[in-house]
Structure 1
């Protein structure tokens, strides 16, 4: 009988080894994905968080000088329609004289300079300032007053007096119609 080991193709061993290497690397890659995918996907926001990521606010009923409170990401949101006198007072204040220099035009949208949208959270320690509801104390500058530590904001929501380091935050928003804004 003839020896079959001597006549076997020497490349057969290499091909089998290559196949085993590829199979082992593929199995390790699939196993790695099976471990990593749940870890990455659990960091994605849940459906209730995604639903709260934007809010629509109807501003058609807000009269000049009035403000409303809404909720955005579980925090108060102030939407105020400024009067001509409030706009003039805000524009008369030089931005370079402010602790956190911003003009009213930088805090509002073009074409809607009378509509101020700010987060209702004091930038000092996170209290909710007064001044958005009828009859509340508006502070020395006619805007908002934080009763926790005495920060005073002007009609444009800019810090004027007290310990707050910055202006009331203006969130990302846009007018999706003349009467509805989308925040977030």
Structure 2
């Protein structure tokens, strides 16, 4: 084989390799882009801001973050006193099971006593618990009741003994931008 043929062969090999690489990149680019979350998915996972000015005492506000319901309750002094009372009916009264950020591992499972922030999901099979206020009837309780299988939680999201739910309700990461603005999705130190 002559030197000219060898040079031509090397040139053709290089051009073929270059075209193959360009074709591979053109084929691979849309495939890799499909792995990136869409703008809608990124927005669903972003922190949410809630204006607390219109929230009244004993009022439950429901919103959504990352596809899960978020329950926000402005607790009365009576509810706060009840939560600090007898805990013998609770499965995990001291929140030993890791269902909350460290700053919410207290009697009220919150940063501020008057405000409860929970994921509104039963820890048994994922149903949405409903609010129950005691009307004085026998066996009634204040808290959340799961209509699917009968699990009960107090207004700190702590699970009662003898119900199917194995753990307390989850406290999402949250903090305060100021006294009237709650941010769900980031911890207090990340808000700044």
Give me the TM-score of the superposition, normalised by structure 1. Answer: 0.70
In structure 2, what is the equivalent of residue 176 of structure 1?
177
Cα gap change, 1:115/1:18 in structure 2, threshold over 3 Å: closer, same or farther?
farther
In structure 2, what is the equivalent of residue 77 of structure 1?
70
Cα gap change, 1:18/1:183 in structure 2, threshold over 3 Å: closer, same or farther?
farther
Q: Deviations over 1:9-39 (max 9, x none)?
A: x6x7776665555444433332222222211
In structure 2, what is the equivalent of residue 148 of structure 1?
148
Query: 1:181: Cα distance to partner?
Result: 1.8
Matched, 1:98 2:92: yes
Query: 1:154: Cα distance to partner?
Result: 1.2
The higher radius of gyration belongs to: 1
CA contact (8 A) 1:105 1:113 kept: no
Cα gap change, 1:83/1:22 in structure 2, threshold over 3 Å: closer, same or farther?
farther
Query: 1:101: Cα distance to partner?
Result: 2.8
SS at match of 1:131: strand
SS at match of 1:176: strand
Report how many aligned residue pairs link the two structures: 171
Query: 1:119: Cα distance to partner?
Result: 1.6
User: How do 1:97-176 residues align onto structure 2 when only pairs under 5 Å count?
Assistant: 98=92, 101=96, 105-106=104-105, 107-109=109-111, 112-131=112-131, 141-161=141-161, 162-176=163-177
Matched, 1:27 2:19: yes
User: How do 1:51-70 residues align onto structure 2 when only pairs under 5 Å count?
Assistant: 51-54=43-46, 55-70=48-63
Listed as ranges, the gaps of 5+ residues in structure 1 are none
SS at match of 2:45: coil
CA contact (8 A) 2:83 2:156 kept: yes
CA contact (8 A) 1:77 1:119 kept: yes
CA contact (8 A) 1:159 1:166 kept: yes
Listed as ranges, the gaps of 5+ residues in structure 2 are 186-192
Distance 1:49 1:156 in 2: 30
SS at match of 1:52: helix
- Aligned with residue 37 of structure 2, among 25, 37, 45: 45
Distance 1:158 1:164 in 2: 10
